[in-house]
Amino acid sequence: MEQHAANIRAASTESVDLLHASRRVLAEAIVADRDLPPFPRSARDGFAVRAADVAMVPARLTNVGEIRAGVDVSGITIGAGECIEIMTGAAVPNGADAVVMVEHTFRMHQDVEVQSAVESGANVVPRGSEAKAGQELLKPGMRLTPAAIAAAASVGFAQMKVYAQPRVAILSTGDEIVGVKDAPLAHQIRNSNTWSLTAQVQNAGALPIPLPVAPDEPKALRALVEAGLDSDLLLLTGGVSMGKYDLVELVLRELGAEFIFTGAQIQPGKPIVFGRVGSKYFFGLPGNPVSTMVTFELFARPMIDALSGATPVPMRFVQARLKSDIKTKTGLTRFLPAELSGEFSQTEVELVRWQGSGDFMSAARANCFAVIPPDREVIKAGEMLSVIPI
């Protein structure tokens, strides 16, 4: 799947303003238009001094004025035996090479007594030390974080070029599935997968296109699959197991699909299929609601990243300490709904009780999936466990 993701051509681009840049994928480099900081910046409230003047303390200096943040200091020079009161964020004037914190000084009318020595450069952030004019700050392919947006803003990007969000069609299948607003008969199930997937697709930074539910009947299913293939990616749910009416693979084969993999050694989610029809990729996700959610996170999200123009990043798990023993069957890697609790470095994880991969009420109480390696029958409380936060 990684190779397929790597071969996807970059999506088209558009311009967004800062207000709409969050989580979009950059399609251009963000380059510094000036040195940052643009002037030697005071990191403290205190007095700008010549470090040499305060090598021996206490030292008595003449205060020649005050510099607030935002003041032009081009006309100010600090001479030997002089200092100037300065605020955090203000420019350090010529002649001064250090700032003494106000806590280490004592005012005596026009003079200031400096009580502790500072080295040259102390409490001064040199011009250009954070970035040089012309330096590339952010690379294309990066998903914009709040800090990245701050960096773009500080070098004058009111708008930036980003990749268009991929359109992801969502097609739930099953004769028993009815719309949320319909009155379900006793043997019918309201469609929930379409809505968990729309949320996951939005969360992944793409545009969900929910389609009407497809029945377990080849002709109608085929028409909806064809409609779904108009989008950049098609997610199907249900109908990929071994049942007599699991028709998704059959219909995709009729449409000339190439299957890249069928099945994965995971639980829930074992029957997942991945392939393409022409240049359009699809996933057939298992219909059990928790399987649908897990397989989206493991397989569909990285594909959406690729379609979004994002530079691939390896999947990273968070580590948490297990709260109580787990017993499972070996053979498959398991992704079980779990709850992270605790705080700071004391994060703990515990499985939520569930009735199997159809039980999404337990998934709704969970805030992560715990990853259980395929070779572990028992994991003891106190061991570290990988989790995928949700």
Q: Name the residues that contact Mg ion, by CB under 5 A.
A: 174, 238-239, 287
Enclosing H/E stretch for 244: none
Q: Which of 289, 302, 309, 337 binds ligand AMP (CB under 6 A)?
A: 289
* 208 near ligand AMP, rule: CB under 6 A: no
Q: Provide the minimum distance between the beta carbon of 365 and ligand AMP in the complex, in angstroms, as a whole number.
A: 17
Q: Provide the minimum distance between the beta carbon of 196 and Mg ion in the complex, in angstroms, as a whole number.
A: 16
Q: Provide the minimum distance between the beta carbon of 172 and ligand AMP in the complex, in angstroms, as a whole number.
A: 3
* 177 near ligand AMP, rule: CB under 6 A: yes
* 178 near ligand AMP, rule: CB under 6 A: no
Of 182-201, which residues contact ligand AMP (CB under 6 A)?
A: 189, 191-194
Contact flags string 228-257 toward ligand AMP, x per CB under 6 A: ---------xxx-x-x--------------
Q: Which of 141, 275, 287, 309 binds ligand AMP (CB under 6 A)?
A: 287
Q: Provide the minimum distance between the beta carbon of 216 and ligand AMP in the complex, in angstroms, as a whole number.
A: 8
Pick 286 or 309: Cβ nearer Mg ion: 286
192 binds, among ligand AMP, Mg ion, none (CB under 5 to 8 A by kind): ligand AMP
105 binds, among Mg ion, ligand AMP, none (CB under 5 to 8 A by kind): none
What are the residues whose beta carbons fall under 8 Å from the beta carbon of 219, sequence distance 6 or more?
none
Pick 273 or 307: Cβ nearer ligand AMP: 273
Q: Cis bond leading into 146, ω under 30°? A: no
Tell me the residue number closest to ligand AMP, measured at CB. 287
Instruction: For residue 338, give both structure tokens.
Output: 């779990």
Give CA–CA dist 62/363, Å, rounded.
Answer: 68
Q: Which stretch binds ligand AMP (CB under 6 A): 46-54, 69-77, 83-91, 280-288?
A: 280-288
Q: Determine contact, residues 365/318, Cβ cutoff 8 Å.
A: no
Q: Determine contact, residues 358/322, Cβ cutoff 8 Å.
A: no
Q: Which of 154, 165, 172, 295 binds ligand AMP (CB under 6 A)?
A: 172
Instruction: For residue 327, give both structure tokens.
Output: 């017993």
* 362 near ligand AMP, rule: CB under 6 A: no
Q: Determine contact, residues 320/347, Cβ cutoff 8 Å.
A: yes
Q: Provide the minimum distance between the beta carbon of 173 and Mg ion in the complex, in angstroms, as a whole number.
A: 6
Give the closest residue to 57 by CA, choosing from 113, 132, 122. 113
Give CA–CA dist 264/295, Å, rounded.
Answer: 10
Pick 53 or 249: Cβ nearer ligand AMP: 249
* 358 near ligand AMP, rule: CB under 6 A: yes
Number of residues that bind ligand AMP (CB under 6 A): 19
Q: What is the dihedral of CA 263, 264, 270, 271, to 10 degrees?
A: -20
5-to-122, 144, 228, 295, 377 alpha-carbon distances in Å: 49, 20, 19, 16, 34
* 135 near ligand AMP, rule: CB under 6 A: no
Q: Provide the minimum distance between the beta carbon of 341 and Mg ion in the complex, in angstroms, as a whole number.
A: 35
Give CA–CA dist 157/154, Å, rounded.
Answer: 7
Q: Determine contact, residues 97/55, Cβ cutoff 8 Å.
A: no
Q: Determine contact, residues 302/200, Cβ cutoff 8 Å.
A: no
* 105 near ligand AMP, rule: CB under 6 A: no
3-state DSSP helix/strand/coil percent for the chain, to nearest 5?
Answer: 20, 35, 45
What residue spans of the chain are helical by DSSP H? 2-7, 146-154, 193-203, 218-228, 248-254, 289-295, 301-307, 360-365
200 binds, among ligand AMP, Mg ion, none (CB under 5 to 8 A by kind): none
284 binds, among ligand AMP, Mg ion, none (CB under 5 to 8 A by kind): none
Q: Which stretch binds ligand AMP (CB under 6 A): 2-10, 55-63, 116-124, 281-289?
A: 281-289
What are the residues whose beta carbons fall under 8 Å from the beta carbon of 269, sequence distance 6 or more?
285, 286, 291, 294, 295, 298, 335, 357
358 binds, among ligand AMP, Mg ion, none (CB under 5 to 8 A by kind): ligand AMP
Instruction: For residue 266, give both structure tokens.
Output: 């995971």
Query: Which residues would be at the binding site for ligand AMP (CB under 6 A)?
Result: 172, 174, 176-177, 189, 191-194, 237-239, 241, 243, 286-289, 358
